[in-house]
């Protein structure tokens, strides 16, 4: 006779056992090592004397799970962090921000957020748990939310810990793990658990390599579609990692920080068959051209049927027509400071509202050029601050902007009408980010270098008189081209009027007192920008009846070396070749003779990569000085960094030297 009660109880026990097994499988033990007193007592400043906090240990684990509540496959990322606060300047590390991305109805979220602060006082470790009130969730943009929290009871020598479980529906990008950050780290460990039916591209970035790498097989670990399958458990460890120290003249830090990256190529479906995610450029070209917010905009020549005669005006050559069209779009659609490779409003609406995102503007430019029978194509690119797009595998999400390329008389011109005050054929610094991808309408897309062929240049001409009381009066005329002209035009354009800019300039002129200012070619972008300043300087402290000293660098003297790192493991990227030329002509007071002067100097880096010259001459009462700094490359390698640093150190020394005169 069947005992139904026993069968029922066995079923209950079996279900409970399965639930417990699942709970144990999902539970993540705290991987942080046990706290020791030495964590508080060891002097960790010797690790990095400039550090204000240090990561003692961090551990991340990412795997795929089918989440019942979301009814879909999710990336589940668990992170544990332990940081020691070394001094008061490190207190800000207790304020943590986590970016959570969203797209359409899908978005990332966090569960099991925990945090605590440990302090060592009176021979005891005191623990303070983070309260729920310390956690805030805010909207960062239309594409992301931001979770913020603050660890409590922070003091010098505190140790903070926090952990969380992040759920992401975006399974194509498994999870990037950054071994390096703005803090030095003693131990960073990442575990990736990848099912056998999922194939990811795995790539390392950055200067520092792994300390240790291990892998193992987890048998029947992944349950999906009613079947269990094996997983690869990949363990990556890096120890004693220096902080990433950023400096000027660089692309986005994300290009150089040591990290490991994953991108889904394909996976085998539970019912059979393979889904390929790794697209070819042919796939992406077709996808973009078929999209109504990309290819659909380019084909919309009709939007310019009535406008075209006004845009082209009286131009007869294709180059003149292209310039007129470019400046019309630049003047009539203002950028709303939103990026993107897809139009947000569409050409017609952007023209009507006189505002749009970068794609609205530059896709309109492509369409207008084509409407005028000028060959033009869109160029997708990634902004300078968001990382270089991957060249090995085509990933459409790497690109967050679009430019226009026109072909006229055998020459290619890259255009960006979204940037106010940017001349035809030049790019802003934000767009100069290695390479972009030209999307040809009927051919295979191709890479194009994002470069500025126009050098970035300032020429300073000073004509001044030094009188017997120690006062200098004169005029300074500055000629600017390239990126330097764009920067100056943008500065002036921030003011409601040119008069208000000049007033502010005179208010903030300090010892170099500006009496009058004039700007030429502000809106004539095809010509150099000229700024003329009438000034006076009081040098009475350096002047008496017996002698005086004169430092000729009365304007724009370099006082701080822009290159300060002991070692820089990433290139110096200026965006364009640049130079600064100073011509000084001083009329000196009568009755004094030259006693000492800076020596003429000429310094050149290997292969003429950069050059500095300083020379002077006196004819009667006229002192003439010429100084030139020439950076003859847009990009310098990390091997050239020391030479640049030394060059600027010598320039600063030279600019500190005075001309000394004595009474006859």
pLDDT in tens, 327-386: 999 999 999 999 999 999 999 999 999 999 999 999 999 999 999 999 999 999 999 988
**Coil, strand or helix at 638:** helix
Given a cut of 50, is residue 18 above it in pLDDT? no
Rounded to an integer, what distance in angstroms lies between the CA atom of residue 194 and that of residue 405? 42
- Rounded to an integer, the average pLDDT of 264-274 is 85
Residue 225 has pLDDT above 90, yes or no: no
Cβ(475)–Cβ(519) under 8 Å?
A: no
What confidence tens digit (pLDDT) does each residue in 438-479 have?
A: 999 888 999 999 999 899 999 999 999 999 889 999 999 999
d(CA 573, CA 153): 42
Quote the mean pLDDT of the chain. 91
Residue 381 β-bridge partners: 401
Q: What residues contact residue 252 under an 8 Å CB cut-off, 6+ apart?
A: 384, 385, 386, 387, 388
Q: Which CATH architecture has domain 281-449?
A: Roll (3.10)
For residue 185, which of 233, 242, 138, 224 has the smallest C-alpha distance? 242
Q: Which residue is associated with the tokens 């990949």?
A: 234
Q: Under CATH, to which class is 456-663 assigned?
A: mainly beta
Domain ranges of the chain: 12-276, 281-449, 456-663
pLDDT digits (tens, 9 = 90+) for 47-87: 888 999 999 999 999 999 989 888 899 999 999 999 999 99
Specify the pTM.
0.85
pLDDT grade for 273, boundaries at 50, 70 and 90: confident
> Which tens digit of pLDDT belongs to each residue from 486-531?
999 999 999 999 889 988 888 887 788 999 999 999 999 999 999 9
Residues in the chain: 664
570 close to 248: Cβ distance less than 8 angstroms? no
Each residue's pLDDT tens digit, 623-661: 999 999 999 999 999 999 999 999 999 999 999 999 999
β-bridge partners, 543: 548
Close Cβ partners of 93 (under 8 Å, ≥ 6 residues apart) = 52, 53, 83, 85, 160, 183
DSSP structure class, residue 47: G
User: How many CB atoms lie under 10 A from the CB of residue 86?
Assistant: 21
pLDDT in tens, 140-189: 887 889 999 999 999 999 999 999 999 999 988 788 999 999 999 999 99
Q: Which fold has domain 12-276?
A: Immunoglobulin-like (2.60.40)
- pLDDT tens profile 539-575: 888 888 789 999 999 999 999 999 999 999 999 999 9
SS3 assignment, position 215: strand
Same fold, 12-276 and 281-449: no
**C-alpha–C-alpha distance, residues 664 and 288, integer Å:** 79
At residue 12, the 3 state secondary structure works out as helix
pLDDT over 70 (residue 295): yes
């Amino acid at each position: 006779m069947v005992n139904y009660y026993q069968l029922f109880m066995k079923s209950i026990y079996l279900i409970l056992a399965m639930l417990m097994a699942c709970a144990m499988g999902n539970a993540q033990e705290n991987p942080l090592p046990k706290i020791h007193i030495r964590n508080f007592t060891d002097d960790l400043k010797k690790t990095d004397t400039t550090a204000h906090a240090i990561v003692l240990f961090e551990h991340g684990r990412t795997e795929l799970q089918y989440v019942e509540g979301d009814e879909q496959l999710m990336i589940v990322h668990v992170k544990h962090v332990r940081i020691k606060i070394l001094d008061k300047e490190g207190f800000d590390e207790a304020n943590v921000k986590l970016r959570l991305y969203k797209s359409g109805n899908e978005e990332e979220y966090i569960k099991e957020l925990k945090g605590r602060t440990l302090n060592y006082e009176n021979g005891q470790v005191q623990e303070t748990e983070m309260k729920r009130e310390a956690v805030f969730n805010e909207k960062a943009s239309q594409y992301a939310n931001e979770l913020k929290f603050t660890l409590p009871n922070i003091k010098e020598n505190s140790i903070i810990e926090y952990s969380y479980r992040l759920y992401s529906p975006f399974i194509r990008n498994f999870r990037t793990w950054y071994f390096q950050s703005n803090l030095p780290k003693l131990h960073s460990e990442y575990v990736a658990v990848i099912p056998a039916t999922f194939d990811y591209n795995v790539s390392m970035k950055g200067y520092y390599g792994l300390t240790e790498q291990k892998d193992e097989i987890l048998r029947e670990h992944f349950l999906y579609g009613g079947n269990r399958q094996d997983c690869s458990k990949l363990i990556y460890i890096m120890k004693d990692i220096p902080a990433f120290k950023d400096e000027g003249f660089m692309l986005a830090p994300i290009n150089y920080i040591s990290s490991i990256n994953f991108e889904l190529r394909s996976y085998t479906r539970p019912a059979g068959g393979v889904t390929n995610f790794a697209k070819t450029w042919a796939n992406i070209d077709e996808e973009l051209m078929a999209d109504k917010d990309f290819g659909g905009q380019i084909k919309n020549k009709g939007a310019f049927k009535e406008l075209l005669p006004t845009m082209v005006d009286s131009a007869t050559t294709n180059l003149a027509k292209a310039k007129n069209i470019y400046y019309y779009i630049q003047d009539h659609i203002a950028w709303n400071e939103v990026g993107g490779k897809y139009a947000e409003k569409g050409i017609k609406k952007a023209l009507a509202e006189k505002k749009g995102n970068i794609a609205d503007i530059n896709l309109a430019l492509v369409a207008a050029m084509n409407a005028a029978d000028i060959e033009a194509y869109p160029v997708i690119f990634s902004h300078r601050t968001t990382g270089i797009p991957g060249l090995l595998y085509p990933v459409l999400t790497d690109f967050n902007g679009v430019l226009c390329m026109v072909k006229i008389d055998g020459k290619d011109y890259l255009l960006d009408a979204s940037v106010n005050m940017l001349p035809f054929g030049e790019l802003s610094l934000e767009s100069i980010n290695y390479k972009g991808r030209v999307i040809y309408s009927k051919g295979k897309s191709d890479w194009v270098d994002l470069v500025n062929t126009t050098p970035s240049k300032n020429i300073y001409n000073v004509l001044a008189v030094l009188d017997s009381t120690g006062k200098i009066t004169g005029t300074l005329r500055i000629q600017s081209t390239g990126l330097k002209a764009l920067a100056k035009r943008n500065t002036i354009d921030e003011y409601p009027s040119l008069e208000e800019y000049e007033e502010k300039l005179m208010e903030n002129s300090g010892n170099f007192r500006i009496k009058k200012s004039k700007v030429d070619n502000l809106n004539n972008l095809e010509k150099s920008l000229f700024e003329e300043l009438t000034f006076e300087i009081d040098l009475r402290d350096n002047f008496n009846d017996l002698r005086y000293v004169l430092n000729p660098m009365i304007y724009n003297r370099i006082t701080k070396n822009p290159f300060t790192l002991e070692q820089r493991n990433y290139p110096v990227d200026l965006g364009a070749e640049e130079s600064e030329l100073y011509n000084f002509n001083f009329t000196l007071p009568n009755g004094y003779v030259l006693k000492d002067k800076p020596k003429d100097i000429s310094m050149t880096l290997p292969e003429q990569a950069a050059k500095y010259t300083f020379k002077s001459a006196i004819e009667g009462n006229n002192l003439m000085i010429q100084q030139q700094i020439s950076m003859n490359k847009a990009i310098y390698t990390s091997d050239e960094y020391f030479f640049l640093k030394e060059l600027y150190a010598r320039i600063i020394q030279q600019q500190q030297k005075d001309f000394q005169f004595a009474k006859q």
